């Protein structure tokens, strides 16, 4: 039974109580859902990358919703109450940060910059600050502090993981939730739709290939997958 149908994934009832299936479809969207397409095999490769990175973060002590494998396009996760916050961590300036603030494209951000967006389709996921988080009742201060610590740690670990494979993690969007025991966990996905990864010579292996029509999306996603699964 489908519990929730998102733009690119479905959330279904899981095999055990308190679990869900996170199922990746072959859809891709960009520009607030205005640009859409479908690529055969995208769901599978997004699931593979996502699952691999969740397993890596779990081994490194980051609590996540990941439970285990299921099938080619789905994995089992804890059912969580998603905090309606998109936590973006940026290691290098690009995209909306460059457009909004005029920061030079490609500038290294050290320490990484953390931004919050209110996860609300009707409002088009606006950029918000800490005070807005509390004003909107998105979460309390202790939770936000814990979210920041986890986002920073996950970004740091993933940045290193990609670095070891000759790739640069440019930025990434995290979502967090509370599992049935009330534990704060990293949720949603860790695929190339929610992060930017560049090769050392500056090619994108992520959704920018689709956003900016710069090449073959599936080739880029497969190249990323092959790097991610390399030991
Ligand atoms: P959107 O909701 O933006 O269209 P997706 O297509 O990625 O995005 O849909 C997946 C949805 O499932 C997201 O809203 C995400 O917050 C939610 N979600 C992710 N992991 C879980 C989970 N473990 N339990 C419940 N909901 C989840």
- Report d(CA 165, CA 169) in Å as an integer: 11
Contact criterion met (CB below 8 Å) for 152 and 114: yes
pLDDT-derived band at 204, boundaries 50, 70, 90:
very high
- Distance from Cα 9 to the centre of ligand 1, integer Å: 7
Preceding peptide of 111 cis, ω within 30°: yes
Same domain, 88 and 52: no
Ligand 1 atom at minimal distance to the Cα of residue 175: 16
What residues make up the domain containing 39? 2-78
Same domain, 111 and 210: yes
Residues in CB range of 106: below 8 A, 6 or more apart: 92, 93, 94
Which residues line ligand 1 at a C-beta cut-off of 6 Å? Answer: 4, 6-9, 11, 20, 22, 65, 77-80, 82, 175, 177, 187-188
pLDDT digits (tens, 9 = 90+) for 184-202: 999 999 999 999 999 999 9
- Distance from Cα 108 to the centre of ligand 1, integer Å: 30
Contact criterion met (CB below 8 Å) for 24 and 191: yes
Contact criterion met (CB below 8 Å) for 139 and 147: yes
Same domain, 93 and 198: yes
pLDDT-derived band at 227, boundaries 50, 70, 90:
very high
Helix (H) or strand (E) holding 70: strand 66-71
Q: Is residue 223 domain-resident?
A: no
pLDDT value of residue 90: 98
Nearest residue CA, atom 18 of ligand 1? 188
Same domain, 124 and 182: yes
CATH of the domain at 175: 3.30.470.20
Same domain, 72 and 117: no
pLDDT digits (tens, 9 = 90+) for 125-178: 999 999 999 999 999 999 999 999 999 999 999 999 999 999 999 999 999 999
Same domain, 101 and 159: yes
pLDDT value of residue 210: 98
Out of 4, 27, 47, mutate this one to test ligand 1's pocket (max ligand atoms within 8 Å of CB): namely 4
Contact criterion met (CB below 8 Å) for 116 and 85: yes
Nearest residue CA, atom 11 of ligand 1? 6
Over 90: is that where the pLDDT of 231 sits?
A: no
pLDDT digits (tens, 9 = 90+) for 97-112: 999 999 999 999 999 9
Same domain, 144 and 58: no
pTM: 0.98
Out of 22, 120, 180, 185, mutate this one to test ligand 1's pocket (max ligand atoms within 8 Å of CB): namely 22
pLDDT value of residue 195: 98
pLDDT digits (tens, 9 = 90+) for 37-88: 999 999 999 999 999 999 999 999 999 999 999 999 999 999 999 999 999 9
Q: Is residue 225 domain-resident?
A: no
- Distance from Cα 101 to the centre of ligand 1, integer Å: 29
- Distance from Cα 165 to the centre of ligand 1, integer Å: 28
Structural domain ending residue among the three candidates 29, 48, 78: 78
3-state secondary structure of 228: helix
The average pLDDT across 225-229 equals 98
Same domain, 152 and 191: yes
Out of 20, 77, 79, 82, mutate this one to test ligand 1's pocket (max ligand atoms within 8 Å of CB): namely 82
Closest alpha carbon to 31 in 212, 214, 218, 219: 212
């Amino acid at each position: 039974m489908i519990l929730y149908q998102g733009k690119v994934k479905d959330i279904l009832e899981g095999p055990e109580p308190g679990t869900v299936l996170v199922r990746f479809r072959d859809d891709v969207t960009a520009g607030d859902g205005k640009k859409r397409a479908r690529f055969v095999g995208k769901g599978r490769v997004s699931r593979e990358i996502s699952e691999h990175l969740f397993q890596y973060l779990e081994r490194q002590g980051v609590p996540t919703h990941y439970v285990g494998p299921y099938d080619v396009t789905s994995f089992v996760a804890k059912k969580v109450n998603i905090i309606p916050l998109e936590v973006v961590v940026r290691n290098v300036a690009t995209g909306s940060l460059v457009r909004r603030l005029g920061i030079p494209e490609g500038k290294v951000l050290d320490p990484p910059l953390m931004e919050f967006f209110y996860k609300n389709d009707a409002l088009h996921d606006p950029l918000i600050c800490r005070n807005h988080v509390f004003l909107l009742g998105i979460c309390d201060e202790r939770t936000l502090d814990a979210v920041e610590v986890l986002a920073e740690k996950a970004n740091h670990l993933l940045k290193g993981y990609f670095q070891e494979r000759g790739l640069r993690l440019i930025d990434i969007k995290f979502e967090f939730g509370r599992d049935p025991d009330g534990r704060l966990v990293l949720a949603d996905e860790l695929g190339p739709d929610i992060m930017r990864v560049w090769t050392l010579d500056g090619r994108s292996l992520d959704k920018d290939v689709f956003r900016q029509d710069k090449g073959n999306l599936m080739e880029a996603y497969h190249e990323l997958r092959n790097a991610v699964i390399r030991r």
